[in-house]
Amino acid sequence: MDNIFTERVFADRYQILEKIGSGGMADVYRALDRELDRKVAIKVLHHRHGQDAQFVERFRREARSVAQLNHPNIVQVYDWGKEGDTNFLVMELLNGQTLKQIINDRAPMSSSEAISIGLQACAALDYAHDHKVIHRDIKPHNIVISPAGQAKVTDFGIAQAQTDDATVTQEGFLLGTAQYCSPEQAQGRPVVRGSDIYSLGIVMYEMLTGTLPFDGDNPISVAMSQVNDEPTPPSQLRGDIPTDVEAVVMRALSKSAEARFATAGEMSSALERARENLRRGLAGAATTTPGSGVEDQPTVAIPIGDALNRPSLTDFEESQEASKRGRKIGIAVAAVVSLLLAIGVAFALVGGGDDPLAETVDTPDLTGLTLDDAQDQLNAAGLSLGSIHQEPHETAADGTVFIQDPNPTDTAEVGSKVEVWVSTGQESVTVPNVVGETLDNATDALQGDSLKVGDVEQVFDDEVPAGEVMSQDPRADTSAAMDSEVDLTVSKGIEPDETVVVPSLLGLSKSAALSKLNQRGLVASEEDEFSTTIPVDTVARQTPQPGDSVRKGSAVTIFLSRGPQTVKVPDLVGLPQSSAERQLRDKGLEFQILQEENDAFEPGSVIAQDIRVDTIVSVGSTIVIILAIPITELPPGDETPDAED
């Protein structure tokens, strides 16, 4: 059964070649796109999902959305469709291994390699989030690494479709993956951008340490650990992890989404700074763990600082430059150490106790302050304001500080600068129009645009069908803060206590129909129509139909028969056949044609009709017309003999 689709052709285009993988949601096949003559991957959803109409609809909607994502670190979705009862995705065919295979083979990985993969994953998520797509199932199984080291994130569409309605499957497994899901996913709360960032933090933790921060006997216990337990710092498992790399991972693993990086781009910036420190040999680390299998890092601790803006180097150029930097740093460090020793000896001789080189203070907590207030606090502490980054934030008030570097209570040298991140308020989105949609569809549409359903008021309404959205607040096409709520008013249909069942009026006389409607508290509206089967002045049809429920006082239209429709027979004698037929059709009459030899009329013209002119007949009646044809001449010798002969 492994190659059940082998040699089949999907959508008259994609020829299945061989099965190349399998997972909980789908099987993957290598295929040939015969139109473009290229190899592709076909992801075939398991049959059980194809039987779930809601899942299939979400899958199709997400497939359309994800197909719009075009980024070098995201696996491209080319096409999607259905072959029989089989739903499938057509995707870019990748050459490489999943990150999970690489971790299993050789973790713990070096810090530089983990940072490189983390940066590429951040780039993919930042792009997807900007296009209103949240992955919801970031894990090393869904990141593919090419032989050249390029990382590509896959399975955006399936992850979105499978997590819209539930937290736990029938088998008890969390949608998403328990070891990598965020606390809010484990609790069934709305998923946000920070949920993907949390999952990426776990992936980096696993790359750096070779272990997961939370694991257990079953998915539920793991999920509870995600909610309640703090992860062991990676440096306690492997001492040579740079402090700034560990800081990035631990911030990504914050229990509160607000405490994590606000965007994947912000996490990327922190990783860039850590990588730059690593390149310069200045990344702080704990004591080296012997036999860790990765390169040891120097143990000089420094603040993270800004990343240097410079073009990327080739591996050879970078190694040469690193060698030069290493020699310069070695000389500089030796000189500094000698100087410090000399100063330390002199200071000890005069009875000094504190470090004479620099006076330090505790960094004040600037969180929640405006820039002016933050500047005042820093000035009072003997510090100054450094770089200012302005970014949207879900909870921090507009114009207030939500992150600082150094952190509050960290020591800093008097006169040094403190870098701050200032909120520009919540990121806004355009509210979609959900009026006329069912509540389920409205919920999906709002969540797809990073909004939530707020208060839902249900009211009776005579015109809007039960279950449909009647109004929304805020209105469609207005701006609202991301993750804010949209209140909905949903119709409950006609109020039951005020409804009646429409009686059958067919075949009743007008007076009888009116009486029956009056007894039910309904009003009659009259129309006339022709009928060949219903007697005159009796009900030929009605709307609403018998058995329908309507509100008392509603109008029921009765169509009273006028009997068959009649017309006058036209004068056809002398007309060419085509003209006679056209006149009969225009009056709704049928016709039958006979022919007769006659020299008095032009051949093909009407010489007689069976019903006299101006006779009243029913529409649809048949008129017989006789057409003239030339008299046939008998050849010589064949004349009819006279009676006398």
Catalytically active residues, by annotation: 137
Q: How far apart are CA 202 and CA 138, in angstroms?
A: 9
Among residues 434, 499, 493, the alpha carbon closest in space to that of 467 is found at 493
Judge whether 428 and 393 are in contact, CB under 8 Å. no
DSSP code of residue 363: P
Judge whether 20 and 40 are in contact, CB under 8 Å. no
3-state secondary structure of 577: helix
Q: How far apart are CA 138 and CA 153, in angstroms?
A: 8
Angle made by CA atoms 585, 586, 592, in degrees to the nearest 5: 20
DSSP code of residue 483: T
CA distances 392 to 370, 389, 395, 416, Å, are 15, 10, 9, 27
Q: What is the CA radius of gyration of the chain?
A: 41
Judge whether 399 and 422 are in contact, CB under 8 Å. yes
CA distances 10 to 14, 427, 461, 638, Å, are 5, 42, 47, 75
DSSP code of residue 467: T
Q: How far apart are CA 31 and CA 78, in angstroms?
A: 13
Q: How far apart are CA 515 and CA 518, in angstroms?
A: 5
Judge whether 619 and 568 are in contact, CB under 8 Å. no
Q: Dihedral angle at the C-alpha atoms of 199, 205, 210, 215, nearest 10 degrees?
A: -50
CA distances 245 to 207, 267, 315, 531, Å, are 12, 11, 22, 86
Q: What is the DSSP string of 500-547?
A: EEPPP-TT-BHHHHHHHHHHTT-EEEEEEE--SSSPTTBEEEEESPTT
Give yes or no for a cis peptide into 298 (omega within 30° of 0). no
Question: 37: which residues sit within 8 A by CB, 6+ positions away?
Answer: none
Query: How many CA atoms, within 13 angstroms, populate the side-chain half-sphere of residue 133?
Result: 29
Q: How far apart are CA 58 and CA 55, in angstroms?
A: 5
Question: In this structure, is the dihedral angle defined by the CA atoms of residues 597, 599, 604 and 605, taken in order, positive or negative?
Answer: negative
3-state secondary structure of 612: coil
Query: How many CA atoms, within 13 angstroms, populate the side-chain half-sphere of residue 142?
Result: 25
Q: How far apart are CA 523 and CA 525, in angstroms?
A: 7
Q: How far apart are CA 563 and CA 537, in angstroms?
A: 8
3-state secondary structure of 109: coil
